[in-house]
Chains A and B, each alone.
Chain A
Amino acid sequence: MGPSGSGKSTLLHCIAGLDRLTSGEVWLGELALSQLSERELTKVRRDQVGFVFQAFNLIPTLNALENITLPMALAGRRPDDEWLDRVIDTVGLRDRLTHRPSELSGGQQQRVAVARALASRPQIVFADEPTGNLDSRSGAEILSFMQRAVREFGQTVVMVTHDPIAASYSDRVVFLVDGRIVDEIHDPTADSVLRKMRELGD
């Protein structure tokens, strides 16, 4: 968490292998991302990382199922059907699989995005303001799906947000100001996060 311009998104882009570092190192599991070529980085993003962006998460020409399996299709791998079924049922998209993004609501689109992020069993999922464009009910749905992924599947999720309610779904909140980590809270609630934010703002 952090206020606008605190470097949340930049940090996320760096550790997700989307951006290049000017100095320092990023380790993803056993991999030092800074030493990888563009080609290898692409493979890392495809196989070991999942993404959920704030908006424009889906390819409009592909249907929901194709969007979910896109990273695997790009890798030329067959998805693990059992796992895929579980993910799809978790996000409740069974009856929407053949729909194109334009035929889905904003909440449904984000659920497809979450399913895509989970479907390839990545080491880590990055979510950049995943609920920023949603109404509160849809947002809560998305957040609880991601929470279930952590609880039930043991999935690591890193989310960037400035919404204390969204932050309260996590296990640990790290606060950024001007590109530096300034504080953290374990097992946060919306209130504790909000309080900390106010403190930092002062």
Chain B
Amino acid sequence: MWKVTLRGITTKKLRFLLTASSVMLGVAFMSGTMTLTDTVRATFDDLFRDINEGTDVVVRGVQPFESDFGDVPRRPVPAALLPAVREVPGVATAEGLVEVPYAQIVDEANEPVGNPGLGAPSFGFSWTDDEDLNPMTLQPGGHAPAAADEVVIDKGSADAGGIAVGDTVRVLTQQEVKEYEVVGIAKFGAADSPAGASIVMFTTEEAQRINNFRDQYSSIAVVGDGSVSQQELAERIARSALVGSDVEIVTGEALIEENQDQLAENIGFFNTALLVFAFVALFVACFIIYNTFQITVAQRTRELALLRAIGASAAQVRRSVIAEALAVGLAASALGLGLGILLSVVLKNLLNTLGFDIPATDVVVTPDTVVWAFVVGLLVTVLSAVLPARRAARVPPVAAMRDVAVERPTNFGRRLLIGGAILALGAAVLVYGLFATPDDAVAFIGFGAFTVFIGVFVLGPLIVRPVARVLGRPLVLVKGVTGTLARENAVRNPRRTAATAAALMVGVALVGFITIFAASAKKSIAHAIDQQLKSDFLVQGGTGFAMVPLSPTVAETMRTVPELSVVAPVRFDAVLVGGEQAFVTGADPATSSELVDFDVREGSLRDLTADGIAVSERYADDNDLGMGDLVVVTFPATGDVPMEIEAIYSRREMAGDFLITLDAWATNFLPQQQYDSLVMARLAPGADADAARAAIEEALEPYPTAKVRDNAQYKEDQAASVNQVVNLVYALLFLAIVIATIGIVITLMLSIYERTRELGLLRAVGMTQSQMRSSVRWESVIIALLGTALGLVIGLFFGWAVVAALRDEGFTRFAAAPGQLLVIVVVAAVVGVVAGVYPAWRASRLDVLRAIATE
């Protein structure tokens, strides 16, 4: 029995390889992702260890809360603690350090160094001469900053901006823009800069000034004299120093672990996102494995029956099919793992060229990755082959005497019932997950979508014939008998065609969904801007989703432009409201309500005080709150602050659910969080828009990250940010489409093999090679279009459901994006043509005589 299995594999090498390749690609994606994240993690784990190596204990402010919306900074530490810490027995040295969250170097050409808002971060810190506490090493020819206008910068930034010691650079921070003399260039160990970040090192006093610190540090770093453990030293400091409740003390080891955990969490998100796409690819591969085995079992009916007739048991036949699947899975896993490791190297280099300078380290392949590659590869292949194996086992010995059985007729009613039930269940679970938003909404949505695909897959064979008839009609008219043959061949095995098309359907459905989702997002954003924005210009730091801080001096500068009548800076940041994570908007109520139509329902925004808050109508309704009620907001600086509702507004797309005054912001946010996110402005009556723009741009010349946008451009920027994400998703779904294409190739090859005699006959009675190729190619196109049609219907449904569910989140507009969907159809047709190339060539090269002589 094993010999038969093995022989079967070795004689059909190409089919074996193609089948394995579908799973291999999925495994490669998965193991590549895992290897990349493991490598990046290992690299940074080392990095954090290097940075903090000399630090034994850190005294730092507490972090009042955590937020998924961004890093919530820690509170500063009183400088008065430093002498007390230094007194503690066992402390060798202690230094007050200041971290500047945003410091952007601008080079001589007035260009920001690095890639603001998109690439690695730009930040600063205070220079310390203590080598144990300073991760940077000065390069020869420079010295530490000694005056308020002296800085040291990292070598990466110096090289990127063509900056040398002695040059003058401007640095953008939350203060006014300021010129500094570069007095030194420093490296980060062997690297030019940590992970491509751009770093400015100031004197401690200057860093404090930038952060608005008054006798405060970000932290106090302590080096022990070696007489006691880090733990003991930390405890001693906690006991003897004047440590208040705002301060926490951690050991250097704990800090390293904390950094590593933080990074693991960030990478974990990235990892999960990529693994979702690997899962999609493997899901598509399941269809292909299933289909390939199903077809080959059908084609081998006689052979299997003969085996049964000469004494093989049903279980042996079943095991032989499973064994073949195991072999496919094993090959796919091994090749996929290898390819995945290569892929991770390529991706890492890609990240490097994008500016995320990941220091060169060896690729880290963990045992986990290897185990997962094999477990998943084998599981996917073997599970997909279970049904075909059962079918093989059911072949009766007597079938050896009969002609090769054609596909069993479809039991219409039963299939409709089962498929319909699965589809309905999937749709119901999906809709429940979306609209009822249970705790595990994502799990419900994922399972629902998965089940919808299975349902359509089961229903597929019923749909193939009518849909292909319609799709093939123009073909028959244009191509005549070649077209007829293509169409009829596409529908002669509905189950086979349906399974092949289903593989493509999954990819197309997701692409279609993303397309509709993005189009709806863009339309909704544009609608919100049109409806609510009454300003003429918007100034943002950068143009992407990532908000680059703007110094409040940007707004001040704009106020001096005579062409502008109203200038309103706006801030966004993370807080907790009633214990829940939220975004709060800070703005001057008077000016901002002139520039944004909030549609105030109760109270007046103009009367908003520093102790009050304006909330959206939705938040008020959902929480049963009204005017005068108290909302507890947890701020980074002040902790829990009860604020009175002084206004309720209905339009929440621009400001979100909560709005406070800039005075309230100044009090409640930390001193280093006093920057603007964007500035809105209105044209003075009678002023010319172009002249005003030129005037603003001129005034803001010292701030090259500040981009002046009119409303149309703002819309474009927002659309461009959406497109960026969408293009990334397209790229990731590309793999699923490639795998589906392989599926079409396999099915066509198997079909052609099966039709050898028929093809020979066609050639004998006068079909030319090019007609033969054309016929196979169009058959491929019909299968591809069939998968696309099914996929688009599902994609439209997903898109509609998700957009409808997110109506309250600002998705007020649904856009079916017919133009883009048409592009998908065209691309699918091209996929069909491409998939058909090789099988068509094979079919046309058939030896006529051998074909008609084949038994």
Interface residues of A (CB under 8 A from B): 13, 18-19, 38-39, 42-43, 45-47, 51, 53, 56-62, 66, 70-71, 73-76, 116
- Contact present for A45 and B765 (CB under 8 Å): yes
Are B852 and A74 neighbours in the complex by a CB distance under 8 Å?
Answer: no
Which 5 A-B residue pairings sit nearest by Cβ, starting from the closest?
A46-B766, A61-B488, A73-B481, A71-B766, A42-B768
Q: Mark B762-795, 1 if CB is under 8 A from A, else 0.
A: 1111111101000000000000000000000000
Q: Are A47 and B764 in contact (CB under 8 A)?
A: no
- CB pair A61 B485 closer than 8 Å: yes
- How distant is the Cα of A66 from the Cα of B488 in the complex, in angstroms? 12
**Is the contact region of chain A dominated by helix, strand, or loop, or is it mixed?**
helix
- Residues of chain A contacted by B484 (CB below 8 angstroms): 61-62, 66
Q: Which residue of B lies closest to A61 (CB)?
A: B488
List, in ascending order, chain B residues with CB within 8 A of A42's CB. Answer: 763, 766-769
Binary interface profile of B, 823-854, with partner A (CB < 8 Å = 1, else 0)? 00000000000000000000000001100100
Q: Give me 14 other A-B pairs in contact (C-beta within 8 A), A45-B765, A62-B485 excluded.
A: A38-B769, A42-B763, A43-B768, A45-B764, A51-B764, A51-B765, A53-B761, A53-B764, A53-B852, A57-B761, A61-B484, A62-B481, A73-B480, A75-B766
**CB closest residue in chain B, given A53:** B852
Residue of A nearest to B490 (CB): A61
Asked if B159 is an interface residue, CB under 8 A from chain A, the answer is no
Is there contact, CB below 8 Å, between A66 and B481? Answer: yes
CB atoms of B761 and A59 under 8 A apart: yes
Does A18 contact B481, Cβ atoms closer than 8 Å?
no
Complex CA–CA separation, A63 to B624 (angstroms): 72
- In the complex, which residues of chain A have a beta carbon less than 8 angstroms from the beta carbon of B768? 39, 42-43, 74
- Cβ contacts B731-775/A at 8 Å (1 or 0 each): 000000000000000000000000001100111111111010000
Which residues of B pack against A, CB within 8 Å? 480-482, 484-485, 488-489, 492, 757-758, 761-769, 771, 848-849, 852
Task: Given A43-B766, A53-B761, verify A18-B485 contact (CB < 8 Å).
Answer: no
> Contact at A61–B765, with CB atoms within 8 Å?
no
Contacting residues, chain B, for A60 (C-beta < 8 A): 492, 758
Cα separation A79 to B77 with both chains bound (whole Å) = 97
14 A-B contacts (beta carbon < 8 Å): A18-B849, A39-B769, A42-B768, A51-B764, A56-B761, A58-B761, A59-B761, A59-B762, A61-B485, A62-B484, A62-B488, A73-B480, A74-B768, A116-B765
Task: Quote the shortest CB–CB distance from B250 to chain A (angstroms).
Answer: 75
Q: Which residues of B contact A19 (CB under 8 A)?
A: 849
Per the bound structure, the CA–CA distance linking A38 and B480 in Å amounts to: 23
Complex: A184 Cα to B489 Cα, angstroms: 45
A181 to B771, CA, bound (A): 38
User: When the two chains form their complex, are residues B765 and A56 in contact, meaning their CB atoms are under 8 A apart?
Assistant: no
Residues of A within 8 A of B849 (CB): 13, 18-19
Interface centre among A57, A66, A74 (most CB of B within 10 A): A74
Q: Decide: B766 and A18 in contact? CB cutoff 8 A.
A: no
Question: In the complex, are the beta carbons of A45 and B766 less than 8 A apart?
Answer: yes
Please measure, in the bound complex, the distance between the C-alpha atom of A43 and the C-alpha atom of B766, giving whole angstroms: 6
Q: Which residues of A contact B848 (CB under 8 A)?
A: 18
Which residues from A are CB-within-8-Å of B762? 59, 70, 74
Residue of B nearest to A120 (CB): B766
Rounded to whole angstroms, the CA-CA distance of A151 and B268 in the bound complex is 85
**A47 and B481 alpha carbons, distance in the complex (Å):** 16
Residue of B nearest to A59 (CB): B758
CB of A85, distance to nearest CB on chain B (Å): 20
B480 adjacent to A70 (CB under 8 Å): no
* Pair A74/B767 contact, Cβ less than 8 Å: yes
CB distance from B603 to the nearest CB of A (A): 74
* Contact yes or no, A46 B765, CB < 8 A: yes
Report the bound CA distance from A47 to B766 in whole Å: 8
**Cα-based distance from A181 to B588 in the complex (angstroms):** 109
What's the Cα separation between A116 and B764 when bound, in Å? 12
B488 to chain A, nearest CB (A): 3
Indicate which residue in A45, A53, A62, A74 contacts B771 across the interface (CB closer than 8 Å): A74
In whole angstroms, how far apart are the Cα atoms of A117 and B484 in the complex?
21
The CA-CA distance from A66 to B757 in the complex, in Å, is 18
Complex CA–CA separation, A39 to B492 (angstroms): 29
Residues on A with beta carbons closer than 8 Å to the beta carbon of B485: 59, 61-62
Is the Cβ of A70 less than 8 Å from the Cβ of B481?
yes
Chain B min CB distance to A122 (Å): 10
Most A Cβ at <10 Å: residue of B480, B763, B765: B765
* Distance of A60 Cα from B757 Cα, bound (Å): 11
Q: Are B488 and A70 in contact (CB under 8 A)?
A: no
Q: Give min CB distance, A45 to chain B, whole Å.
A: 5
- Give the residue among A18, A19, A47, A58 with the most B Cβ atoms within 10 A: A18
In the complex, residue of chain A having the shortest beta-carbon distance to the beta carbon of B852: A53
* Residue in chain B with minimal CB distance to A9: B853
Residue in contact with A74 in the complex, picked from B492, B757, B758, B765, CB distance below 8 Å: B765
Q: How far is the CA of A45 from the CA of B767 in the complex (A)?
A: 9
C-alpha spacing A62/B852, complex, angstroms: 18
- Give the residues in chain B near A57, CB-CB below 8 Å: 761
For the complex formed, measure the closest distance between the CB of A98 and the CB atoms of chain B, giving whole angstroms.
14
| Closest residue on chain B to residue A58 by CB atoms | B761
A73 to B483, CA, bound (A): 11
Give the residue of B489, B767, B769, B852 whose beta carbon is less than 8 angstroms from that of A61: B489
Which of A43, A47, A53 has the largest number of chain B CB atoms within 10 A?
A53
Is B766's CB under 8 angstroms from A74's CB?
yes
Nearest Cβ in chain A — how far from B224, in angstroms? Answer: 85
Q: For residue B481, which residues in chain A have a CB less than 8 angstroms away from its CB?
A: 62, 66, 70, 73-74
Considering the complex, give the chain A residue whose CB is closest to the CB of B488: A61
Bound CA span A52–B514, Å: 55
Determine the chain B residues whose CB is within 8 A of the CB of A45 once the complex forms: 764-766
- CA distance in complex: A70, B492 (Å): 19
Chain B residues with CB below 8 A from A43, complex form: 766, 768
Query: Are A76 and B765 neighbours in the complex by a CB distance under 8 Å?
Result: no
A56 touches B757 (CB 8 A): yes
Contacts of B489 in A (CB 8 A): 61
Partner of B765, one of A13, A66, A71: A71
- Among residues of B, the one whose C-beta sits closest to the C-beta of A57 is B761
Q: How far is the CA of A70 from the CA of B765 in the complex (A)?
A: 8
A43-B769 Cα distance, complex, nearest whole Å: 11
CA distance A18 to B852 in the complex (A): 10
Give the residue name and chain of the A residue nearest to B406 (CB): A102
Q: How far is the CA of A57 from the CA of B492 in the complex (A)?
A: 18
Interface centre among A19, A57, A62, A70 (most CB of B within 10 A): A70
A10: nearest chain-B partner, CB-CB: B849
A163 CB, nearest partner CB in chain B, Å: 20
Q: Considering the chains assembled together, what is the distance between the CA atoms of A13 and B847 in angstroms?
A: 13
Complex: chain B residue closest to A20, CB-CB: B849
CB distance from B492 to the nearest CB of A (A): 6
**B609 shortest CB reach to chain A, Å:** 81
With both chains docked as a complex, state the minimum distance between the C-beta of A5 and any C-beta of chain B, in angstroms.
14
Cβ–Cβ < 8 Å partners of A51 in chain B: 764-765
Give the CA-CA distance A13 to B849 in the complex, in Å: 8
Contacts of A66 in B (CB 8 A): 481, 484
Distance in angstroms between the alpha carbons of A192 and B767 in the assembled complex: 40
Question: Which chain A residues border B765 with CB–CB below 8 Å?
Answer: 45-46, 51, 70-71, 74, 116
Decide if A76 touches B480 in the complex (CB within 8 Å): yes
Taken together as a complex, chains A and B put the C-alpha atoms of A74 and B775 apart, in Å, by 11
- B758 — nearest CB in chain A belongs to which residue? A59
Q: In whole Å, how far is B855's beta carbon from the nearest beta carbon of chain A?
A: 10
| Residues of B contacting A18 in the complex (Cβ-Cβ under 8 angstroms) | 764, 848-849, 852
A76 to B764 Cα, complex, angstroms: 16
State how many angstroms separate the Cβ of A39 from the closest Cβ of chain B.
6
In the complex, the chain B residue whose C-beta lies closest to that of A69 is: B481
CA gap between A38 and B849 in the complex, in Å? 13
Cβ of A70: which chain B residues have Cβ within 8 Å of it? 481, 762, 765-766
Contacts of B852 in A (CB 8 A): 18, 53, 56
- Cβ of A116: which chain B residues have Cβ within 8 Å of it? 765
A121 vs chain B, min Cβ distance (A): 14
Residues of A within 8 A of B488 (CB): 61-62
B764: chain A residues within 8 A (beta carbon): 18, 45, 51, 53
Complex: A34 Cα to B848 Cα, angstroms:
16
